[in-house]
Amino acid sequence: MIKQLKESYSVVALCRLFNVHRSSYRAWIFRLRRPSEKKTKALAMVKIIHDESNGSAGARTIASISTQRGLPLSRYRARG
């Protein structure tokens, strides 16, 4: 209901009216988003590389191997 009315009224006012915390509303909105195809592909690559290393490869090694295979990742993205 808030999602439909937020174009006409402020989210703050709607949350007060329906007795919903804004943080709960925002969590619900962001929960509905699906990961992009790029993120899904990167996560799959990280899992494959991690499995190939028998669980011994860390984020830096995974990022390096992924980059060599054509999917550039930083070590922060490789933490999966």
**Are 47 and 73 found together in one domain?**
yes
- Please, which pLDDT band fits residue 80 given cuts at 50, 70 and 90? low
pLDDT at residue 8, as a whole number? 74
pLDDT at residue 53, as a whole number? 93
Helix axes of 59-68 and 37-52: crossing angle, nearest 10 degrees: 110
For the chain, list the strands marked E by DSSP. none
pLDDT digits over 25-66, tens only? 888 888 877 778 888 899 999 999 999 999 899 999 999 999
Look up residue 37 and give its two tokens: 């195809």
List the domain range (segments joined by +) for residue 66: 37-79
**Are 49 and 66 found together in one domain?**
yes
Residue pair 25/11 in contact by the 8 Å Cβ criterion: yes
Q: Is the pLDDT of residue 3 over 90?
A: no
A 10 A CB-CB count for 78 gives 24
**Are 42 and 70 found together in one domain?**
yes
How many distinct structural domains can be found in the chain? 2
pLDDT at residue 75, as a whole number? 86
Q: Is the pLDDT of residue 15 over 90?
A: no
